[in-house]
A and B are shown apart, each in its own frame.
Chain A
Amino acid sequence: NAGVTQTPKFQVLKTGQSMTLQCAQDMNHNSMYWYRQDPGMGLRLIYYSASEGTTDKGEVPNGYNVSRLNKREFSLRLESAAPSQTSVYFCASSDPSGSGGGYNEQFFGPGTRLTVL
């Protein structure tokens, strides 16, 4: 049981290049999320997918696109990278609704450290 996995771990891009960050989870969770982490800003939600087949914008979606490929996989694409997208990117998953009206936590991947020159 690997939990949430992300590839690659590190990436350096030049301005204008494109790339896709991959995320997969093996916990059969319905919901998946992409965050970016910047110093002093905490975690900010880029996009999320409440369930397979749906995606929605989060707090900072500009410059990004996502694809919920299937229940396990949720990818994040940068079409034309900019230096402002230099950040650490985290994928997370959850099954929010717990039994008896509970609410479950999110599980995080190890992150992708992206530098855009």
Chain B
Amino acid sequence: AQSVAQPEDQVNVAEGNPLTVKCTYSVSGNPYLFWYVQYPNRGLQFLLKYITGDNLVKGSYGFEAEFNKSQTSFHLKKPSALVSDSALYFCAVRDWGGATNKLIFGTGTLLAVQP
């Protein structure tokens, strides 16, 4: 079965420090991976994706993610956290089951950046 795991319900980091939000995956086909962010009372916004190519993917708002095939991971990173980065972050992977295009989402990680 295909799945995505976000092992941390919450990540706390001080403003200015680097942040990492973890994601691991299990898929039957090529791993197409995504990160989304959700601010309070808003819909999900796309941050970045990995389809193929360079293992380090750069996205919106200074975020990047590193694809690691041997560890089946796709961790989200940012060199210097901002208070405004505080939000709920979701990792997702393409679902290769069936004939259509769906995403499987993780349960989300709440990022709290303290001033």
Are A41 and B107 interface neighbours, CB within 8 A? yes
Contacts of B94 on A, CB cut-off 8 Å? 103
Task: Give the complex CA separation of A90 and B43 in angstroms.
Answer: 7
Q: Which residue of B lies closest to A102 (CB)?
A: B51
Q: What is the predominant secondary structure among interface residues of chain B facing chain A? A: loop
Partner of B90 from A31, A43, A92, A107 at Cβ < 8 Å: A43
Contacts of B9 on A, CB cut-off 8 Å? 40
Within 8 A of B (CB), among A1-46: 4, 31, 33, 35, 40-45
Partner of B102 from A40, A48, A110 at Cβ < 8 Å: A48
Are A31 and B101 interface neighbours, CB within 8 A? yes
Q: Would you give the shortest CB distance from A94 to chain B, in whole angstroms?
A: 7
Are A42 and B43 interface neighbours, CB within 8 A? no
Task: Give the complex CA separation of A50 and B49 in angstroms.
Answer: 21
Task: Give the complex CA separation of A33 and B101 in angstroms.
Answer: 10
Are A58 and B43 interface neighbours, CB within 8 A? no
Q: Does B105 contact A (CB under 8 A)?
A: yes
How many chain A residues sit at the interface, stated as a range, is 20 to 34
Q: Does B83 contact A (CB under 8 A)?
A: no
Within 8 A of A (CB), among B76-115: 90, 94, 98-103, 105-108
Q: Would you give the shortest CB distance from B38 to chain A, in whole angstroms?
A: 8
Task: Give the complex CA separation of A93 and B34 in angstroms.
Answer: 15
6 new A-B contacts, CB < 8 A, other than A98-B51, A103-B51, are A33-B102, A48-B100, A105-B34, A107-B46, A109-B43, A111-B41
CB pairs A–B below 8 angstroms (8 shown): A4-B43, A44-B105, A48-B102, A56-B100, A96-B101, A97-B101, A103-B32, A106-B46
Going nearest first, the 4 A-B pairs with the smallest beta carbon separation are: A96-B101, A108-B43, A50-B100, A42-B107
